[in-house]
Structure formats: C-alpha cells, structure tokens
Amino acid sequence: MLFKQTIVKKPGESYLNGLTTTNLGTPDYEKLLIQHEAYIEALKKSNVKVHELEASEEFPDSCFVEDTGVLVQEFAVITNPGADSRNREIVEMEEVLKKYYDEFRYIQAPGTLDGGDVMQIDKDFFIGISDRTNEEGAKQLKKILEEAGYTATILTLEEFFHLKTGITYLGDNSVVAAGEFIDHPAFTKYEKIIVPEEEEYTANTIRVNDYVIIPSGFPMTKQKIEEAGFKTITLEMSEFQKHDGGLSCLSLRF
Ligand code: CIR
C-alpha cells in the first residue's frame, strides 16, 4: 500500500494512567518513549513523512491516534470514539487533518466508532462492532463509504478488542489473521498467514510501502510473513502492549 504521510502523537506521562484490559503491569515511561521513537524511525525508513504531535496530558490514551480518524483519498472521517476519556481526542485531530483534507465526514452520537475497528482492503472496508464501536456507528460509516463507491462489511467481534487487533491486510490479497478471524466467512477470499495463539499480539502489524512492521518476540509469524515475500522491520512494543495498543494504533497513514 502506498502511503506518503503519517500522523503520530507522543505519549504523555499520563499514559501510565490510561485505559487497559491487560494484566501486564504498569508501563515504564522512559522505555515507552524509546519505543515510540523507534516507531517513528521505522515509518521514516518506510518512506513516509511523519507529522509528530506533542503529548497532551489530559488525554492519557491519545498516542493511539488511529482511533480518531478513518482516512480515504476523498475525505477524512472524524470518528466518535467509544471510550468517554478518549472521545475529545478528535478535536485536535480534526484541526491537524485540515492541513491535508478539505472534505470531512463525521460519526455522530448515538453512533460510536474507533478507527481500530476499521480495515481497508483496496475498495472494500470491514467494520467491527466491538466494546467501542456500536452498530449505529458502524452503519453510519458504511453509508459514508458506500456513497463514495467503497463497499463495507460490518461484523461483530466475539473476542478481540478492536477489529485490527486480530487481522491486518498486508497487500497482494494477503491478510495476517488470528483467533476468530482465521475461519471468519468475511475473509474467505484472502490468502491467510495464520497467527498461532501464543503469538496473537502480532496479528496487529502494519504494511507501510515496502515494509511490514511487526512487534518483536514472535518468531513464527515473522518467519511466515518473510516466507510470503515481505520485508519486515521488527519493533519492541512491550509498553504499548501493556495498554492494549499495537502498531496500527500509533499512526494514521494516508
Ligand atoms: C484504549 O483502551 O483505547 C487504549 N488503551 C488502546 C487503544 C488501542 N487502539 C487501537 O487498537 N486502535
């Protein structure tokens, strides 16, 4: 997938008090910043520009910028994030996106939607209903996308936090899939790199131009991705994993 631009946001110290469903312990702030810097370097190596936003202490989870927007060529969709403490992260992001987009669409209450629940495969979108994205939000996005000539399939998540926690599109008709998505009817037509249960965290990877960026510590999946012909960059993600964050969550890519 050809991307030219990305937006990322530095985590603030309040990150330590952010939302999590894991029991992996409290993140180490110094390590977190080092991991975030390495993420930015990996994006630059993948030949995209990186627009870096300053940390904001009032929004502990705001480094996970992906949840605030869904970007297509024609317009930016400003989401309505499902977690109360995160909802107003969209105010800053809309301002930032005005530098790149003239046309905007909006997910509106009672609809809620997190960008992490949206995956694009060329002209086709998949939207997950999760703890964060409700049916109304998913339907609003589907309508917005279909009006612009895309297709959109809505599916209900059983297990994963966000849709893209469990599946990534790599390009060339291939997905990396874990858990409930391995045999899911919505994805039968794609070639699948199957993630074993003990490596589930690596189902959230990102393809950025010539590279697939993957988290470190998951050798079986890394090998499968490389055997399928993709070049990889491996990043330490432990401090983001502690708060349910993965590689895709940390940037908007367009
Ligand atoms: C949250 O609970 O919202 C954050 N701690 C993690 C968000 C991860 N975002 C994503 O998967 N797109």
Assign residue 227 the CATH number of its domain: 3.75.10.10
- What is the rounded CA–CA span in Å between residue 64 and residue 56? 12
Q: Please, are residues 144 and 123 in contact by the beta-carbon 8 Å criterion?
A: no
pLDDT per residue over 11-59, tens digit each? 999 999 999 999 999 999 999 999 999 999 999 999 999 999 999 999 9
**Alpha carbon of 84 to ligand 1 centroid (Å):** 13
**Alpha carbon of 19 to ligand 1 centroid (Å):** 8
Helix (H) / strand (E) element for 127: namely: strand 124-129
Catalytic-residue membership of 162: yes
Residue 1: pLDDT band with limits 50, 70, 90: confident
Number of H helices, E strands in the chain: 6, 15
pLDDT per residue over 138-193, tens digit each? 999 999 999 999 999 999 999 999 999 999 999 999 999 999 999 999 999 999 99
Residue nearest (by alpha carbon) to ligand 1 atom 9: 249
**Alpha carbon of 239 to ligand 1 centroid (Å):** 13
Pocket lining: 60 vs ligand 1, CB cutoff 6 Å: no
Catalytic residue selected from 36, 63, 162, 243: 162
Q: Please, are residues 239 and 229 in contact by the beta-carbon 8 Å criterion?
A: no
Q: Please, are residues 84 and 60 in contact by the beta-carbon 8 Å criterion?
A: no
Residue nearest (by alpha carbon) to ligand 1 atom 2: 19
Pocket lining: 224 vs ligand 1, CB cutoff 6 Å: no
Query: What's the pLDDT at 22?
Result: 96
The terminus-to-terminus CA distance of the chain in angstroms comes to 9
Pocket lining: 154 vs ligand 1, CB cutoff 6 Å: no
**Contacts within 8 Å (CB) and 24+ apart, 106-111:** 106/77, 106/78, 106/80, 107/77, 107/78, 107/79, 107/80, 107/137, 107/140, 107/141, 108/80, 108/140, 109/80, 110/134, 110/136, 111/80, 111/136, 111/137, 111/138, 111/139, 111/140
The 3-state DSSP class for residue 46 equals coil
Range of the domain at 12: 5-253
**How many domains does the chain divide into?**
1
Give yes or no for residue 248 having a pLDDT over 80: yes
**Alpha carbon of 119 to ligand 1 centroid (Å):** 15
Give yes or no for residue 218 having a pLDDT over 80: yes
Catalytic residue selected from 36, 63, 243, 249: 249
CA–CA distances in Å: residue 188 to residues 21, 63, 119, 195: 30, 33, 15, 16
Q: Pick the atom of ligand 1 nearest to 18's CA.
A: 5
22 CB-contact burial (10 Å; exposed 0-12 / middle 13-18 / buried 19+): exposed
- The gap from C-alpha 4 to its chain's centroid, in whole angstroms, comes to 17
pLDDT per residue over 71-99, tens digit each? 999 999 999 999 999 999 999 999 999 99
Q: Please, are residues 60 and 19 in contact by the beta-carbon 8 Å criterion?
A: yes
